Structure 1
Amino acid sequence: MNPAFNKILKEQIPQILPLVQRLMENQFSDEILQERFEEMFTQNYECFGIYLEEKLVGVFGMWFMTRHYAGRSCEPDHIYIDEAYRSKGMGKKLFEFIYAYAREKGCETSELNSYVHNFRSHKFYLNEDYVIKGYHFLKKL
């Protein structure tokens, strides 16, 4: 299984929305997600599709920033791989791509968030040598 990781262009946002909706458990309308992704594309954000033989089977984004405590950093975000393609080594290949891509962009570190209830991802990230450094807090304004 050799996935391709292809950059998603702004015009291609509608193609990734079904996968993002599954990840987000349909919390938001496609219209809201479309607007948010369009704005994200104007910031230090890049989006990629995960393809197997030209079939879109996953999606993820990457944020780039400089943090006083971590230096130049990459934050993988909204990682979703279709259930039929999980536990087949694709996540490992995905993160190899992320690390190489982040290094090319001058990143020293990678940090990410994971939903509290997503225990499988916690195990995966710990096996990737991520360490839990704190809690992520969110407040609606």
Structure 2
Amino acid sequence: MPISFKIIEPSQINTIIPLMLKLTHNKVSEAILKQRFAEMVTQNYECAAIYDGEKLIGIAGMWFCTRHYSGRSVELDHVFIDDGYRRKGLGKKFMKCIYDYAAQKGCQAAELNTYVQNTPSHKFYMNEDFEILGYHFLKKL
């Protein structure tokens, strides 16, 4: 099947829910994900996708904003490629598509967070020339 890269239309955002459930290990319910994504698509959020034919096999959320330290940027969120499609060079191609798309939207930088224990992603992102700038903190209110 042919591999393709697309931006998911906001009206189709719920098509990413099955991959999100895999990514989050079902720690966030489908209902909550649907509610949150419905709100996210109204807040400078878009989602890039990889398809194998008609099958969705990878996603990357993209938040667009302007930051004082980097200018117009895209912050990648929930980057995920389904298990059977990893280590085949798709991640590198997917990232290139994302960089090109973000550059067309006037972005000068890409940034992201990754979990401390997710060491395979650290190697991947360092190979993509990302630099570690700091820590990400979270406090639930």
Structure 2 match to 1:100: 100
Contact map agreement 2:4 2:52 (CA 8 A) in 1: yes
Structure 1 match to 2:71: 71
Structure 1 match to 2:10: 10
SS in 2 for 1:11: helix
Amino acid at match of 1:23: L
Q: TM-score, normalised by structure 2?
A: 0.95
Q: How many residues align?
A: 141
SS in 1 for 2:101: helix
Report whether the alignment pairs 1:41 with 2:51.
no
SS in 1 for 2:112: coil
Contact map agreement 2:10 2:46 (CA 8 A) in 1: no
Contact map agreement 2:48 2:98 (CA 8 A) in 1: no
Please, which runs of 5 or more residues in structure 2 have no aligned partner? Answer: none
Structure 1 match to 2:27: 27
Q: Percent identity?
A: 58
What value does the CA root-mean-square deviation take over the aligned residues? Answer: 1.3
Distance 1:65 1:136 in 2: 18
CA shift, 1:15, in A, is 1.9
